[in-house]
Structures are given as C-alpha cells and as structure tokens.
Structure 1
Amino acid sequence: MSEDKETPEMRREKLRQEEIKQNPAGNLSDAFNRNESGNLTDLVGGLSWKVTGIVLLVLIGFLAALLFFR
C-alpha cells in the first residue's frame, strides 16, 4: 500500500513497530507503565466509533441503574 493510501491506524502501527526495533528496553518500560495506568486510547483505537458509543451507553445505563435502585 502506498504512503498516500495509508490509514492513520496503519501509520501508528508502523511507527510503533519501528520504535520497538530501535528501543526494545524502552518498549518494556512503556508496557509496565501502561499496565499500571491503563490506556484508554488503545482500547478505543481498536474499536469503531459505533462500538465505542454502544460501550459508553451500556456503562451510562449501568451507572444509572445503580443509582436508581440504590
């Protein structure tokens, strides 16, 4: 696929792979830090906008039900 037709997701993955090749110890540190704090952008980046919206609606509905039935 040419550079012009490359999607942003493909570009991010390509840059991530290049960084892993150049600095494997830094990648290990990043993985430990991500594990401690969580990474919402990776979660949402892997989902489509429709699925993200559904997940948000389910979470909001769950929270509303907790408050209503309390």
Structure 2
Amino acid sequence: MPLTKPNQQLRRDLKSIAFNLEQHCIDLGRLASRLGDEDAIALMRLVGGLYEDVDKLAGYAEEVKAGRIVRDRS
C-alpha cells in the first residue's frame, strides 16, 4: 500500500533531519581532530550520542515506510 502524502512528507522530513544531523557530526569530528586530547574525547562522546539519534530518526523513517507510524491528515 503506497504512503499517503502526509506520511511521505513525514518520512522525507525524518530522513532530511537525520542527514543534516549526520553532516553536523562529520563537521564536529573534523573539529575534534584539531583539539587537545581531553576536549576531543569529550566532543567525540557528544558526537556518538548524536549518531545514536541519527540512527533513531532513520529507524522512524523506516517505520513510516512500513506503515507502523502514521501521520493524521489534520
């Protein structure tokens, strides 16, 4: 069964947010490589948490695709 327009938009939004977040993680990783050891480690811990959020958003987008998450038409 094809996705409704609201669900298509929800999936696109989730994937777009995940992509943007992942790009920010890449940029932060580059920045961390220029910092001192302690600061770099702290920043990379934060980036690790952001990558977990990227994975969650991608998972939600797949749930929308599978029809387990549905957006109302309102």
TM over 0.5: no
TM-score (norm. length: structure 1): 0.35
Structure with the greater alpha carbon radius of gyration: 1
TM-score (norm. length: structure 2): 0.33
